[in-house]
Homo-oligomer: A and B are copies of this chain.
Amino acid sequence: MMWKLAGKTFKSRLILGTAQYPSPEVLCQSIRKSEVEVVTVSIRRQNPEGKAGGAFWDLLKKENVQFLPNTAHCRSAKEAVLTAHLAREIFDTHWIKLEVIGDEESLAPDPFELVEAARILCSEGFEVFPYTTEDVVTAERLVHAGCRILMPWASPIGSGQGIVRPESLARLRARFPETTLIVDAGIGKPSHAAAAMEMGFDGVLLNTAVAMASDPEAMACAFSQAVKAGRLAYKAGLMPPRASAVASTPFNQTFFSESRPQ
């Protein structure tokens, strides 16, 4: 039942982002209540007055969760590689959520720079979690570059639209059985997370859907339950959808069955 992720084992298959929460306290509560064990973080310039990480960091450290720093807003392999190096220094981990944005409007990944950055970082011993599209060719190149993990988007970051192309994600799952697949970006509701897990994805990563909920703590728990439910359903063998109706109650012995043809 445990989840082997990049050589470590976890109970929860939900990875939570730490941005946009009403306060660091609500963030930490959400993490604790949802029993999340991996959270994404980022780096920024130190404020001029020289204070280190701010309240955010002091509180977050105490949750002793695994950190997954990201290269948010990077738009070239060069920027992403430098950010990864700095993040490794700060968070003392070789895990990196590799984001190389190719389009400001849709925040779509740039497949070209992404694969280049992945190649470099994998060669330097990073465990690369690449934020990518559902494009099979890009996925193949990322795996070829050394990625053991792929993080295809469900829909644009922060849009909460859920899985707009289930058949493409399903194809990725089928084509990369040995790769850890995590749906990242666009999950807006627990039902979206459950749907990803039902498709056989290994985990789900989301931020906005919890941070922007009226009650983030409760929403984090809802997502945690939905991810468990989806995983359980995947293992329990879902019924295949059928084109037309099939009665569940047996018909044969209903008392008016004579009066009507079977």
Q: What residues of chain A have their CB less than 8 Å away from a CB belonging to chain B? A: 17, 19-20, 42-45, 47, 70, 72-75, 79, 102-103, 105-112, 115, 133, 135-138, 140-141, 156-162, 164-165, 167, 171, 175, 188-192, 194-195, 198, 207-209, 211-216, 218-219, 221-226, 228-230, 232-233, 235-257, 260
Contacts and interface: CB of A to CB of B under 8 A. Distances in A.
B237 A105 contact: no
A255 to B, nearest CB: 5
25 contacts: A17-B249, A43-B254, A73-B256, A102-B140, A103-B136, A103-B137, A108-B137, A108-B245, A112-B141, A135-B135, A156-B245, A159-B243, A159-B244, A160-B240, A162-B241, A208-B239, A208-B246, A212-B239, A213-B233, A213-B238, A214-B236, A219-B238, A222-B230, A225-B225, A229-B229
B219 A249 contact: no
A36 to B, nearest CB: 15
A44 B236 CA distance: 31
Identical copies of this chain, number: 4
Contact of A133 (B135, B159, B245): B135
Contacts of A161: 241-242
Contact of A249 (B72, B136, B212, B225): B72
A245 B105 contact: yes
